[in-house]
Copies of this chain bind each other. A is one copy, B any other.
Amino acid sequence: RRREMAKSTQLIDNEVFRAYATYTAIVLIKMMLMSLVTAYFRITRKAFVNPEDTASFGKGESAKKYLRTDPDVERARRGHLNDLENIVPFVGIGLLYALSGPELSTALLHFRIFTGARILHTFAYLIPLPQPGRGLSWAVGYSVTFSMAYKVLKTAWLL
């Protein structure tokens, strides 16, 4: 038992893996916060999608009018979905990349640029900033993930 416990903690003692764990936790928390942003806009804009969510506003027509879409709610939801589409590949490919033995400085560069780009992307989406602000921040994160995928395939390739 003791030897197993010791072994399982060694991965987290590896510096590249610790860096991966830190930035993955940060971007996943950032993604989770999108749920709160959506909830905030749903409540302040009174725009819901489930009838049971409007029951506290009364019954019948008085509640039904809050079953509607709102531009701010939809914008937050699109930002959340874009996070899923981009952060899921980062988490999966990033794990394999961290285990493929990169230099710590190179790994940190990848993780930091991706995390910064996704935080910028969120602000660009929610404010919103004029294009190409959002597009560029998306493209930077996307490119970082591709760069890590290249390293993974070069190291692990076994088809």
Q: Main SS of chain A's interface residues?
A: helix
Q: Assembly of this chain: how many copies?
A: 3
Asked if A65 is at the interface of the complex by the 8 Å CB criterion, the answer is: no
Flag A50-87 by CB within 8 Å of B: 1 or 0 each.
Answer: 10110110000000000000000001001011001111
Asked if A105 is at the interface of the complex by the 8 Å CB criterion, the answer is: no
Interface size on A, residues (CB 8 A): 68
Give me the interface of A with B, judged by CB distance under 8 Å. Answer: 1, 4-5, 7-19, 21-22, 24-26, 28-29, 31-32, 34-35, 49-50, 52-53, 55-56, 75, 78, 80-81, 84-89, 91-93, 95-96, 98-101, 128-131, 134, 142, 145-146, 149, 152-153, 155-159
